[in-house]
Structure 1
Amino acid sequence: MVAYIAPFQFTGLASGFDWKAVVDRLMEIERRPVDLLRMRQKAFEDKLFAWQSIASVLGDLKAKLEELGVPDAFYRLAAVSSDPAVLSASAGSGATAGVHTVEVRALALNQTVASDSQPDGSLGLSGTFEVNGRQVEVTSADTLADIADKINRANAGVVAWVVDGRLVVRSLTPGTAGALSMRDVSGTVLQTLGVLGSGNLAFRASYLKSVAPDPLYPDGGGEFTDGLEGTDITDGLSFGYSGTDLGVPGGGPATVEVTVDLGQVANLTGVKLVSGGGPNSSYCADSLEVLTSTDGVNFVSQGSVSGANARQLTLAFTTQARYVKFRITKNFAPADQPGDWLFLDEGYVYGTGFKNLLQPAQDASVVVDGIDVKRGSNVISDAVPGVTLSLKGTGSATVTVQPDVQAVAGEIEAVIKAYNAVLDRLGTVLAKGAVLQGDTSAVGIQVALRRLVSGYADKLRELGIASALDGKLSVDAGKLADALQRDPAAVRAVFFNSERTGLGDRLLAMLGGWIGITGSIQSTESSLNRTISSIREQIETLERRLEVRRQVLTARFLEMERALTLLQSQVADLSRLAVQQ
């Protein structure tokens, strides 16, 4: 039998005839219509590519004209700083020509803090702290680098890193709006690292009405500053005080108010409220309230009353507010003490807030035309209408807002460059032997463009724009700049005007007829695409027929081989019988 291994055939094993070569040759002959169709398809695809390239350069010209046609395009302004080391400036929509004096007194700075120097390896610290309200959990195995990494992954609006064994944390937001807020939640990680610092808490107390003399206060009422003066506390973004006696003379209701100027977190424990009365003094256990001026929420402090005379109340209070009040709201009614009530106010915290404050949060401070301006950024866009100031350093500079002749000239030159690119592309596809040689549609576009521009030759020449023999335009930059400086409105009128008779107006109208959704080039491309698709379908149909034809021819030759093999076998059998006889 004939050996067969798909998809290869070993031909002529029985006949000695290479019938596969014959089949291949026959298929080449029958494939000629397909080859002709492929050549035709390639020709149409080349035409389609040529038209697409024409549409592309025409589209670029249209885009450049539309940019130039914006109403204020010819009246653009530029802002120039007299000292780039102090500031740079740019002008946008809404700017007006003029000169402005700017004094940069301070730049907006990002608050940056650091820890004390720490040893390498695991720190053995554990606990949780907050950075701008985002919690960071530290384990005893963490190194300083681990803590920095955890801070960065907390997405708290800061960046942290390690330098020479010290943790550094910087706010990503400049100015006071980006001031860091950090506190220990559980444990003392920040305090132990030396991130948090220390300070003091002090009050001023005032008698609102006459009270009986008390050893803690001056005779006859008035003011005092020694009640809590100099009390050591731990502050920063987490501070507190404990074991302090707040003297309260007897009488009616008493109020204690404490203002925390730094607006940080306060932890108060073990504070004694001494009624000043004898053993019969008493007050309500819930008589202490905490108020924050920022949110107006009242917090009832945790308290406990010890003994019948109620001489001590233990406080535990935590909040984050810029202004905090502690207030006793219920009556104190000691039986042996006359008088009305006492008002303590204006408590404050003083100290660094951080132990290692490398850079305080600072707003930018500038004086613009004699007006003080403070912003939380070094880019100020709302001080002078339409002008953006980018602060670089301290000092004084003059910002001049004036017509941006170079920018306008650049946009006109961009239009000229795009126009020349259109002529170049048309020249290439229409050249002798090129794909669109003699194409009436392409020639029509080329002629229409040249004829339109030539009609404005005199006006363009006055602007420094001249036409060469091949129709392409050139620009005298100096002459164009002079024309723009002298009368930008007149220059604009050459290209765009209210009657829509300018060169730019008419070019845009013409381009819309060519490359618009219903434009002539779009129609041409659609027609070419349909033709290419039709040819592709014809090729696919012929390819299927050719494959069937190949299979038929192959089957016939295989059948011939099988017949020859059988005949050869019979001849061999007869030969053996003849020999045996």
Structure 2
Amino acid sequence: MSTISSPGLASGIDIKSIVSQLVALERAPLQPLQRQAATAQSKISILSTIKSSMDNLGTLAAKLGDPKSWSGVNATSSNAGEVAVAASSTATAGRFTLSVTSLATSQAAASGVLNAVGGLGTGTLSFSVAGGASRDVEILAGEDSPAAIAAKINSSDVGVTATVLKDASGERIVMRSKETGASNTFTVGVAGGNADGLQKLAFGGGAPGDMTQTQPAANAMFSIDGVDLQSPTNKLTDTVPGVTLTLNKVTSAAVDINVATDTEGMKKNIQAFVDAYNSISTLLTTATAYNETTKTAGSLQGDSTAIGLQNALRGMMRSVTGNGAFTRLADIGIVAAQNGKLEVKADKLDAAMGNLSAVRNLFTSDDGDATTVGFGLKVKTFADGIAGATGSLNARTDSLKAAVTRNGKEQERVIDRAARAEVRYLAQYNAMDAAVGRLNGLSTFVNQQITLWNRNTG
């Protein structure tokens, strides 16, 4: 908008004030357009929140609709410090006792003091683990110190690790097989090197050397319910199907292992679903309500999409599956409160969980009949339809975004009209001021002539 710097010099009229008021009239349609745009943006924002909440509800409903969510088990140990336990969904509920006599160990051997002057010598170390093929580690000039040899063994895939120990007498190398178990013994052959250096690392297989076994390779020895068993590792993954047992210590007493159906986890999934529903319910109620205290309407008051969604959700939660011992959510303690939210009656849900298959069926039933489909699948399908790419929430949001775009263009037109009107008004009033100036000049000239005429004729 152009700046008006002064009133009309000739006419004395405040052109700036007049033009400003006329331009303000031209811009008057902007205010309702801006209010409309703000209202539409508010609706877009709340619809986005509702869509996100519906997606979350659908995700939690899908979890309840998945039979795998109802097969969870929980495993406990009476002494996890000695025997830790974890169970997968394939585990069978049950109890047993476990006693550990000895843990699985890996073979270890230590060399004597390595005192070769100027290095341990170049050569080849040949490793064989569990009677397998030999794997060589070449020791070259400049890497024949104890530390360099240990580092090269550790960086090679030979199935053995090495550590350097140092005391007042000198340095030693300790080797250990990477795997535990009686079969995982190792041998070390040496070719080349110094007699007082590299050759001292020969071990096992009748090879002369200075390596002494410090720990034998051994299986874990344990018993389950009195049955003696053994394992090459301390982590038992297939001894009891679906159960992983970690042997940490020799047991001081028999450890009780209990594998039970994880009903607490299942109830948490149900509560999460209820909480997600209540979040949407509160959101829709607030967005569509009129606050008598503040005299303000919610962003979506009267919005058919929001009202329809709220009614559909409430109706769905009261619907019947028509299949199984439990056919309604209320049958397992999920009831509707007066404010439209859902409540979980803990005592009733606990009692219902005694018939776990019926509770599972209430959420997972899928026999192809829309009237008997489980609540988990039913709500998931509904949520996908509402919040999906072609759902009503996206359609309503797209409509509002289009309205905002049109509104923006209309605001631009109003602003453009006002700018052009300002130029026009300024031109008109400046022309008027110029005309008044000319007339004032003419009037002055005439008055001067009359004065002169009167003087000459007097």
TM-score bucket (shorter structure):
0.5 to 0.7
Q: Tell me: CA distance 1:121–1:413, structure 2 relative to 1, closer, same or farther (3 Å).
A: farther
Equivalent of 1:491 in 359, 376, 397: 359
Q: CA deviation at 1:62?
A: 1.6
**Cα contact 1:364–1:377 (8 A) shared by 2:** yes
Q: CA deviation at 1:388?
A: 2.4
Residue 367 of structure 1 is matched in structure 2 by 223
Structure 1 position 151 matched with structure 2 position 20: no
- Residue 278 of structure 2 aligns to a residue in which SS? helix
TM-score w.r.t. length of structure 1: 0.52
**CA distances 1:151-179 after superposition (whole Å, capped 9, x unpaired):** 33334455444343443444443335654
* Paired amino acid for 1:475: V
Residue 474 of structure 1 is matched in structure 2 by 343
Q: Tell me: CA distance 1:76–1:119, structure 2 relative to 1, closer, same or farther (3 Å).
A: same
Residues of 2 paired with 1:530 and 1:186: CA distance? Answer: 83
Residue 131 of structure 2 is matched in structure 1 by none
**CA distances 1:447-493 after superposition (whole Å, capped 9, x unpaired):** 22223324579954553434433222333445433431x22123334
Equivalent of 1:175 in 173, 181, 191: 181
Q: CA deviation at 1:147?
A: 3.0
Q: Tell me: CA distance 1:194–1:528, structure 2 relative to 1, closer, same or farther (3 Å).
A: farther
Matches within 5 A, 1:518-529: 518-527=390-399
Structure 1 position 440 matched with structure 2 position 436: no
Structure 1 position 390 matched with structure 2 position 262: no
Residues of 2 paired with 1:439 and 1:412: CA distance? Answer: 30
**CA distances 1:265-316 after superposition (whole Å, capped 9, x unpaired):** xxxxxxxxxxxxxxxxxxxxxxxxxxxxxxxxxxxxxxxxxxxxxxxxxxxx
Return 182-191 or 75-84, whichever deviates more.
182-191
Residues of 2 paired with 1:421 and 1:152: CA distance? Answer: 56
Residue 273 of structure 2 is matched in structure 1 by 415
- Residue 487 of structure 1 aligns to a residue in which SS? helix
Q: CA deviation at 1:140?
A: 3.7
Structure 1 position 105 matched with structure 2 position 101: yes
Q: Tell me: CA distance 1:473–1:115, structure 2 relative to 1, closer, same or farther (3 Å).
A: farther
Q: Tell me: CA distance 1:394–1:448, structure 2 relative to 1, closer, same or farther (3 Å).
A: same
* Paired amino acid for 1:452: M
Residue 70 of structure 2 is matched in structure 1 by 74
Residues of 1 paired with 2:319 and 2:266: CA distance? Answer: 23
Residues of 2 paired with 1:166 and 1:100: CA distance? Answer: 46
Q: Among all aligned residue pairs of Structure 1 and Structure 2, give the percentage whose two residues are the same amino acid.
A: 30
Residues of 2 paired with 1:411 and 1:476: CA distance? Answer: 15
Residues of 2 paired with 1:147 and 1:43: CA distance? Answer: 75
Residues of 2 paired with 1:55 and 1:140: CA distance? Answer: 67
Q: Tell me: CA distance 1:187–1:166, structure 2 relative to 1, closer, same or farther (3 Å).
A: closer
Q: Tell me: CA distance 1:198–1:376, structure 2 relative to 1, closer, same or farther (3 Å).
A: closer
**Cα contact 1:195–1:356 (8 A) shared by 2:** no
* Paired amino acid for 2:266: V
Residue 208 of structure 2 is matched in structure 1 by 234
Residue 406 of structure 1 is matched in structure 2 by 264
TM-score w.r.t. length of structure 2: 0.64
**Cα contact 1:136–1:154 (8 A) shared by 2:** no
Q: Tell me: CA distance 1:81–1:428, structure 2 relative to 1, closer, same or farther (3 Å).
A: same
Q: Tell me: CA distance 1:471–1:398, structure 2 relative to 1, closer, same or farther (3 Å).
A: same
* Paired amino acid for 2:380: L
Q: CA deviation at 1:514?
A: 0.8
Name whichever structure is richer in helix by fraction. 2
Residues of 1 paired with 2:45 and 2:116: CA distance? Answer: 67
Residue 135 of structure 1 is matched in structure 2 by 137
**Count of matched residue positions in the alignment of Structure 1 and Structure 2:** 375
Equivalent of 2:332 in 463, 466, 474: 463
**Cα contact 1:190–1:196 (8 A) shared by 2:** no
* Paired amino acid for 1:173: E
Q: Tell me: CA distance 1:144–1:39, structure 2 relative to 1, closer, same or farther (3 Å).
A: farther
Residues of 1 paired with 2:257 and 2:154: CA distance? Answer: 40
Q: CA deviation at 1:405?
A: 2.0
* Paired amino acid for 1:152: N
* Paired amino acid for 2:358: A
